[in-house]
Structure formats: C-alpha cells, structure tokens
Amino acid sequence: RSCQTDALHSDDAGVQTRFSASIFTQTEPQEQTTDLLRQHDPAEPDPPGLLDFLRRTEDLIIRELVKNTRSHAFDGFQADWADRSQRVSCLHRLQHPSAQEKDLHVSSVSWSCTGSVIVCAYGDGDWTNEKSCVCLWNLDRQNLNPKQADLVLEVPTAVTSVCCHPNQPALIAGLYNGEVLVWDTSRTQDPVLVQTGMPAEGHREPVYQRKAEFGVLSSSSGGRVLLWTVDLDRTRLVLDSGYAFIRQQVPHSGRTSMKLQVRGSSTVGVTAVALSPWDPDTFLVGSEGGLLLRCSFSSRTPAAVPAEDRGVVLRAPAVFSFRPSSGPVHSIHCSPFHNLFASAGTDGLVHIHSLLQADPVLSVRVSDSYLFQAQWSPSRPLVFAAATGHPVQFFDLACRALRPAATIEDGAADRAATCLAFNHQNRRLVAVGKSDGSVGVWQLSSDLVDPGPTETAQLEQIANQVSD
C-alpha cells in the first residue's frame, strides 16, 4: 500500500516603488533680462487701467521724489537695534578694604596716559585731616585682584582731587590741607617726585582742582589759582605765577552784578577750573557763589589783595563773565570738538556754554538735586555724561528729546556716584567713583562711542545758536 500527497504550490511576489524628480533654475544675465522686458508685442493690449493710473500719479510721484532729494529728515540716521539696558555693562568693581573700613568715599578718578591704569583718590565725607590714600589698578594685569590695589600711595590727609599726566607715568593730587603732590609711578621705591609742602606762597585751603598739561595748575576755595613748575633739580614744585579772584575785579554783566552785591566776602572761592583746548591762554573758573569766568594767563592786571610773602605778584585774570548759576559750580569741562564747555553744580542742570556769549546755548535738566560732575565724551561730539549723586546719566544731543540715552544705576543709596572719567585711549571705558569707596569700570556700547557722519556739523549748529 502506498500514499502520496498533492504537490505543494508556492508563489513569489515583489513590489518596488520608484520616484525621481529633477528641478533646476537659471537666471538670465542682466542685459538679457532688460532686453526681454523691452520686448513687447504692440499687438498685445496693456493691462486694463495701467496707463490711466500712471498718467494720474506721475506728477505726484515726481514732486515727492524731488522733495525727498532735498529733505534732511534722515541725515545721520542709524538704526538702533541695541537693547538700551545693554548700552553699559560693568567690567570691574574695584575696592580698597582699608578705605572702606574708614568709610572713605571716592573723591576723584583719573586714567593713566596709556589708558591701562585707573587711579582712585579717597576722601572723607566730612573733609577731616585723617590720613587717606591714592590707589592704582592696572587693568591689563593678567591676575587683576579687584580687592587689592597694585599700588597704594599714603597721604597725610584727605585727597580732594587727582589727575594723571597726559604723556608721562605721573599723577598729581591736591589735598585737603592745601598741599599739592606729584608722584612718578614708574619708580618702585619712593614714588613721590615733588610736592609743595606748606610754603607761604601755596594754598592754605583745600585744593579742589589740578591740571598737568604744561606744569601743575591748582586752585582752591581761597580764591587762588596757582601755576607750579618742577625745579631744575626735580626736587620740589616752584611757584611760577599766581592769580587771585576778587569780587571787585570780576567783570560784571547785567546778571552778575546783582548777584555779586549779595555776597559779603571780597574773595571769590574757586571750586572748578578747566583749560581751553583751543586757546592756550584761556582757562575757565567756577566759584562757590555760582560765578563762571573766562580768564587769561597773560593778564597783567595786579590783583587787589594785601601784600603777601609770595615769590610772585598775584594777578587778576578774569576777562569775561558768563551767566551765573544759582549755586556752587562743581564741574567745568571743555568740549574736545568745539569751543563749547559744560558746567554743572547744585542747580541740577548741565549748562552748555559757548566761549563767545554770556548765556548758555543749551541747558539740560539732569537731576532735581545737585550734580557732582559733567564730562564730554572723547569720541562722540554730541554725548556727555553727568554724575548726579545716584545714577550716572549719558545724554545724546543728537536726540530731539533730551532724555538719558543710557544710565548707570548701581543699587543702594550708599553707592552714590561721586565722580567719573572717560578713558581717552580705550574710549569704550568709563570709570565711576562711588560714595561706598568702590570704583566701577564700565564698558559702553558702540552707539555711545562711534560718532555719526554729521555730529560735528550738528555741534556747530548748537554752538552758533543765539540764546534768548
């Protein structure tokens, strides 16, 4: 017996899909495209209404195009894409622990001639004769310690002002007791170069301003501006010339005469001095009583002061009086781009003056209280900054609305801004001294540093304004 199964049938099936695509594009050369556009079949009609529309609007469009060619509405316009909160950013906060332990505030800051070293002077808010110091930090050091100064210069009393020499590694400080000191910071041992000490011909009051462009120019509340030079032995400062400010010898304008009659003292206390970058014979003076004076180094008018034991004859240098402020003038700074200067004081205004007229060409309300300092930007002709006691505000005169273009706000009330200094080498940096003894180094955004194409012309227009 046998058995057989049916044959097993199997099928194979497969499926496959296939898709391909090819695409390309090509642009015609410019001249060919133009030729194609010009190829128009006269037999084809124009789009309906096109010719009538062009005829109706032709005159209007041509008039507007001609008007636009003559308009200056957008001259110098640059799109502002930056976040205003990022226009300033803090790079360093420098502190000297010993000064903070004594509750010393930063009275003055200055940048070295290279722009690498920040110099910070300390004073007492009560202006006592306690010991103080001047601290230096080199920001280019690889291992910068913000709480340890690279160099600390001890002084016998509070420092009221400090200034770096514009070309040499030297700095000049004025002290509360009337002394003026000069340090050579390139010397590691005994950096004190020269000093005035307490000579009979020197200051007897706090030295509020000092300049170092062609010697050492110092001023004080005693109504004296003194010009010192270093003697041949480079051992001491020698008085070269002196100037005294007496009420009766101040030139009077219609607005200053009444103000001067109110003052009882015959001496005009000097609180601010600035040198004109445009005329080496001109310097500007601000006073405790709000006077603003243009002065001449070459004056030969003897000052009406009692005979003093001085090596030089004091002269009366004031030749012109600007409209006075309503309170003490704390700061004067000349524009590096034009014969304008900015003054600031207790009235909360920054006054922009031309050297050629008595009244300010512009006054900007910065604060409802007093101002410590105002300073022009070294790179942008229309920008200045003001230390208001709390924030530092930057103003851009190119803006129609005179509101702060940027603000440095640094927290609590014990960090009030007392002074500021732009860096003339690295123009994106600005230093701000605080009442808590710290110094902030801030970086500015490019819109606060890079000048626009028409800024100098705009500043010229401001200078040529005739005040009402």
Query: Model confidence over 391-413: pLDDT tens digits?
Result: 899 999 988 778 899 998 876 66
| 70 band by pLDDT with thresholds 50, 70 and 90 | confident
243: helix, strand or coil? strand
Strands 270-275, 282-287: parallel, antiparallel or unpaired by DSSP? Answer: antiparallel
Which of left, alpha, beta for 58 (phi over 0: left; psi -120 to 50: alpha)? Answer: alpha
Average pLDDT score over the chain: 82
**Coil/strand/helix, residue 53:** helix
pLDDT tier at 13, thresholds 50, 70, 90:
low
87: pLDDT confidence band, cut at 50, 70 and 90?
confident
Residue located via tokens 């049916």: 6
How far apart are alpha carbons 95 and 253 in whole angstroms?
46
List helix spans (H) across 314-426: none
Residue 16 token pair: 């496959």
Strand residues in 86-214 grouped as ranges (E): 88-95, 105-111, 117-123, 132-138, 151-155, 159-164, 170-175, 180-184, 192-195, 207-211
Which range, 177-186, 308-317, 325-334, 388-397, is most confident? Answer: 325-334
The pLDDT value recorded for residue 263 is: 45
pLDDT category at 166 given cuts 50, 70, 90 is: confident
| Phi, psi dihedral angles at 346 (to 5 degrees) | -80, -5
**Distance between CA 429 and CA 425 in Å, rounded?**
9
Per-residue DSSP letter, 103: T
pLDDT at 176: 84
Paired residues of 217 in beta bridges: 211, 227
Average confidence (pLDDT) over 239-250: 90
* 63-72 average pLDDT score: 86
Q: Is the pLDDT of residue 110 over 90?
A: yes
With a cut of 60, say whether residue 10 has pLDDT above it. yes
Nearest C-alpha neighbor of 282 from the set 269, 271, 293, 270: 293
Which residue type, as a one-letter code, is found at position 285? Answer: V
Per-residue pLDDT for 108 more than 80?
yes
pTM here? 0.77
Of 3-12, 236-245, 277-286, 436-445, the range with the lowest mean pLDDT is: 3-12
Is residue 35 helix, strand or coil?
A: helix
All domains of the chain, ordered by start, with CATH? Answer: 84-463 (2.130.10.10)
Q: Output the pLDDT for position 165.
A: 87
pLDDT at 33: 46
Q: What is the chain's length?
A: 468
pLDDT tens-digit profile of 416-462? 889 999 999 999 999 999 988 999 999 999 989 999 888 889 999 88
* 130 HSE (CA, 13 A, CB side): 11
